[in-house]
Amino acid sequence: MNITRRDTLALLAAGAALPLTARAQAIEQLRVYYGFPPGSAGDITARRVTERLNAVGYVKTPGVVENKAGAGGRIALETLKTSPADGSVLAVTPMSPVSIYPHVYRKLSYDPPNDFAPVSMAAIGHHALAIGPAVPDSVKTLKDFLAWAKANPEKAAYGSPGAGSTLHLLGAWLALLAGVPLNHVPYRGSAPGVTDTVGGQIACMITPLGDVVPHQKTGKLRTLATTGPQRSPFSPDTPTFAEQGFADLTTEEWFSFFAPAKTPAATLAAANAAINAAVKDKGVIEGLASVSLIARGSTADELGRSMRAEYERWGPVIKRIGFTADS
């Protein structure tokens, strides 16, 4: 019997209304892959939510998060693609590896719509542009930074967690819109780039806000702009890009759970219900807030729609920027 997408969504909806034990028995062990180094906002998301999944009945023992860092998050998804489709292996990813990379890698080793099943969002947050001691103290605003960068092109470099990531493209788009040369320096995740920005090895870092707020509080970094539609509650004194004349750079990032494509619908429903229960836990909410993220679940269909919408949004932008993984 062929099961259509509509049938699958109906099964998910029906399953979500049932107690966990009626949908599927708790799995024995759970492994969750995350494609960037430990310590970042996305890594905290993966760990905080995963550690609650046994408490809400999805898995019998605490799940294990494994960081498969490298290739801008692709290694974790490549591993997920060939993992058992029985609910015992999931991955947490930001938006770019599933919505942006298909535009920038000519030979991407996975096809997001066909190789992965959306499970649930877990957190949303905003990105930030932050500068460190390599930039003079007189630079107080985004306008100041762009003027300094134009006058000092040899020093005007910005880091991101990886080439082709949302963060990389935000910087490239800013440079294009402002008419200012900004040289991109890709890192293997946010943490090493933030460390170099704090140390003065690089002028600027574009990264999830939670990665810079602790250094902002100590004065080691100056956050000049955030990407949200409104100011972030975690950095209310920082104006948005839109407030400073760059409304096109408005975006919100999500960190979401995916499963291998052939995972049974009942298992996906159980995982979705468990994740949505976990993100309502006070400890998870507070843990995500500590890295400037808002805990937020979703239906599987909402996540799938968001993934497609971001794919469609970023395609023309990437074409205008002219970036490919081979460039």
> For residue 52, what are its two tokens?
């609650």
Q: What pLDDT, on a 0 to 100 scale, did the predictor assign at position 92? A: 98
What are the pLDDT digits (tens) for 283-323?
A: 999 999 999 999 999 999 999 999 999 999 999 999 999 98
Q: What pLDDT, on a 0 to 100 scale, did the predictor assign at position 214? A: 93
> For residue 204, what are its two tokens?
């600027």
Query: Across-strand partners of 129?
Result: 206, 225
- Weakly modelled stretches of the chain, pLDDT under 50: 1-23
87-to-20, 28, 83, 324 alpha-carbon distances in Å? 13, 10, 10, 34
Instruction: Report the sign of the C-alpha dihedral through residues 164, 169, 175, 177, in that order.
Output: positive
- Helix H or strand E encompassing 125: strand 116-125
CA distance linking residue 37 with residue 198, whole number of Å? 18
- CB distance 226 to 127 below 8 Å: yes
CA distance linking residue 59 with residue 52, whole number of Å? 9
Q: What are the chain's domains?
A: 5-125+252-321 (3.40.190.150), 127-249 (3.40.190.10)
CA distance linking residue 10 with residue 16, whole number of Å? 10
Give the chain's length: 327
What are the pLDDT digits (tens) for 146-195?
A: 999 999 999 999 999 888 889 999 999 999 999 999 999 998 878 899 99
Query: Across-strand partners of 295?
Result: 123
Q: What pLDDT, on a 0 to 100 scale, did the predictor assign at position 327? A: 53
